[in-house]
Structure 1
């Protein structure tokens, strides 16, 4: 079986206090952290037992996972399994990076978000350089609030040219065309994020070759469709995997719309879909932007 899994356990705590995030500076109780660790370990055990499968895994915690030892340890362990093609995680990169030395750099990748005001520019850039020195694949991004533009320009100037800097449209903050143009100068693919994509009835890989899994093992087609397809651990989800159109009117998050078959993003990000790394610099300029509905901001 070849499958892409978006894993999100119960962790909802974060060490940052970004004003646009509902999980800012949230603290999980000791019991909640224990439950999250046990859920992640159970998931890792399931992956370890899938001999002969080809699995790609993106960990998408509500909070910050890499400040927790069990996320660092589990990612390293998963990266060394022959059935795991890629394991990636979304992170604010506030943790130390030394743990990546225990991982397989051919398999591990990080999706890193820079939050101006939460960490100094030089500290974040230093973490990126440490990842590069260790041979770890990574992308870097920023939320496209107008107030973040100068920080984004500085980051683009200081990052190596080959490192993709993506920009997420700020949710609930529609941008003017001039503001969007400024962000597009930094991220040629920003147009995909600016507006939600019309998705109702359109073919999507979620529910067929891509699934979402929560800490209890409940399987859904993606994070944004509540319908349950079964459970990972009893195998009941397998019978539900099939091609299907999207039941939602629109999709406004990259980890959702990247899987729409009506968009060319699997070609643009070939080999780096989970960690949001384009296949080649030319892919940034060749990808047409379409199939969207202009109803506001996106992610």
Structure 2
């Protein structure tokens, strides 16, 4: 099975997170049209294939506020050879459209941004996903100002929902800091330190590839070398086992595919949506009844 990490030209977002370079960015009408056309071309290619595929959309901006992303996920989820289709999202969109999707195939990777959305509103959205029977994970960026909000979210989410924590770019965690975040996400240590990967085996470039809006195929989002193009099929001859050319990998969508780590076993059946096969977290203490 081939896994595709698709990132088109969309770069606009409805949030203004201070740690994100794409905060409150606006794409022009022409840029949005180009993104829509690129996505529709990609979906047409997927529909025309006869091999099993898994797809993760990783837009720079927020995709689900755009109708063409919602339509794409629904349509792809209903294709018999698409085993999983997922997207990274801030969950600011409405959720009713998911009623048309195949629940066995679609999944969401949701990020909670304290300060950009009220806690109760975000929690309500997750409850809607649960009611709809949609698979999802929830996560936060591990900034000190987010710790209390993350604890509150973990305490109120169902125990069945995994809450992951991404180490913040450029932030160093003391052992005490890390313990706080690990009490929320026992897998936080995988994110805390970059992984040394140069020369080591990785599934990217063999069974996992990155695709941009023009169909250019690379082994992953973080390696610039082009393997070929999706639409002329030239990428297929380049698919093979290969060592990582980078010194380190510090992003989950990259290192999850590193063969030196056990994460394909940890996330078996939920690699793209970041859902562990078995619960790895402990329930947070609930408030005592009044």
Coarse TM-score class (shorter-chain normalised): over 0.9
Residue 18 (structure 2) pairs with residue 19 (structure 1): yes
Take 2:279 and 2:74, find their aligned partners in 1: how far apart are those partners?
29
Aligned position for 1:39: 38
What is the deviation of 1:176?
1.7
Take 1:126 and 1:46, find their aligned partners in 2: how far apart are those partners?
36
Matches within 5 A, 1:119-198: 119-198=117-196
What is the deviation of 1:174?
1.2
What is the deviation of 1:68?
0.2
Q: 1:84 aligns with which of 82, 85, 96?
A: 82
CA deviations on 1:206-260 (whole Å, 9 max, x unpaired) are 0000000000000000000000000000000000000000000000000000000
CA deviations on 1:77-117 (whole Å, 9 max, x unpaired) are 00000010000000000000001011001000000000000
Aligned position for 1:215: 213
Superposition TM-score, scaled by structure 2 size? 0.96
> What secondary structure sits across from 1:117 in the alignment?
coil
Residue 38 (structure 2) pairs with residue 4 (structure 1): no
Q: Which moved more, 1:40-49 or 1:171-180?
A: 171-180
Q: 2:249 aligns with which of 236, 239, 251?
A: 251
What is the deviation of 1:143?
0.3
Take 1:250 and 1:140, find their aligned partners in 2: how far apart are those partners?
25
Take 2:259 and 2:191, find their aligned partners in 1: how far apart are those partners?
16
Aligned position for 2:265: 267
What is the deviation of 1:175?
1.7
Superposition TM-score, scaled by structure 1 size? 0.93
> What secondary structure sits across from 1:213 in the alignment?
strand
Take 2:220 and 2:253, find their aligned partners in 1: how far apart are those partners?
9
What is the deviation of 1:281?
1.2
Aligned position for 1:239: 237
What is the deviation of 1:178?
1.1
Take 1:55 and 1:82, find their aligned partners in 2: how far apart are those partners?
10
> What secondary structure sits across from 1:186 in the alignment?
coil
Q: Any runs of at least 4 consecutive aligned residues in structure 1 with deviations exceeding 4 A, and if so which?
A: none
Take 2:103 and 2:130, find their aligned partners in 1: how far apart are those partners?
10
CA deviations on 1:40-97 (whole Å, 9 max, x unpaired) are 000000000002x110000000000000000000000000000100000000000000
Aligned position for 1:294: none
Which blocks of at least 5 consecutive residues in structure 1 are unaligned?
Answer: 286-299
Take 1:188 and 1:47, find their aligned partners in 2: how far apart are those partners?
36
Matches within 5 A, 1:106-117: 106-117=104-115
Take 1:176 and 1:281, find their aligned partners in 2: how far apart are those partners?
26
| RMSD of aligned residue pairs (Cα, Å) | 0.8
Take 1:14 and 1:89, find their aligned partners in 2: how far apart are those partners?
14
Which blocks of at least 5 consecutive residues in structure 2 are unaligned?
Answer: 283-290
